[in-house]
Amino acid sequence: VAFVVRNPNISSILDLSKKDLQIWDTPTVVKLGGVEISLNQIEHDRLRGEWDEPSIHACIVCASKSCPDLRDRAYFPKDLESTMKTQLNNWLQNELKGCFVDDSRVFLSRIFLWFEADFQSHGGVLPFVRNFRSDIPENPAIRYLNYDWSLNSS
């Protein structure tokens, strides 16, 4: 958020990348154990690397239009599981960002394609999504929604 505030003329989160360093690999102002870490390290090493919970993809967002919606409050341990499930459900009900069903086709966020392996221990992407969407037909053709990296202004 601080990056965006300091750079009001950007149109995409990707605009914050430098020629030789993607925004995801730039050290953040946050230190963990006294060590600067990047967004990629937080997402891939700390969250996905240590936690077998695909719902995380509905909760860690980059502020692009195609990302799941950013919560307007923090996550707290006492209700983390239910809050994450609510975030996931909200995302999957959003036909522009999460899941769109059309006759015998299912259109999913590209996040499900990029992180398909994260869903394998939960039966795979489609069985996982079916836990939240009862309208998915048997043996659908799976397509992926286009991903819009421009900033989500809402």
What is the b/e burial string over 44-73, where b = at least 16 CB atoms within 10 angstroms of the residue's CB?
eeeebeeeebbbbbbbebbbbbbbbeeeee
In this structure, what token pair is assigned to residue 83? 């809050």
DSSP state of 127: H
Mean pLDDT of 48-73: 87
| Higher pLDDT, residue 14 or 132 | 132
DSSP state of 56: G
Cα–Cα distance measured from residue 57 to residue 115, given in angstroms and rounded to the nearest whole number: 9
Mean pLDDT of 114-135: 95
| 42: Cβ contacts below 8 Å, ≥ 6 apart | 28, 60
In this structure, what token pair is assigned to residue 41? 């390290």
pLDDT of residue 49: 84
In this structure, what token pair is assigned to residue 139? 């043996």
**Cβ atoms within 10 Å, residue 106:** 23
Question: How high does pLDDT run on average in the chain?
Answer: 85
Cα–Cα distance measured from residue 23 to residue 71, given in angstroms and rounded to the nearest whole number: 21
Question: Ranked by mean pLDDT, which of 3-12, 69-78, 113-122 comes out on top?
Answer: 113-122
Alpha helical stretches, state H, 56-124: 80-93, 110-114
Answer yes or no: pTM beyond 0.95: no
Question: Ranked by mean pLDDT, which of 8-17, 45-54, 117-126 comes out on top?
Answer: 117-126
Cα–Cα distance measured from residue 13 to residue 44, given in angstroms and rounded to the nearest whole number: 18
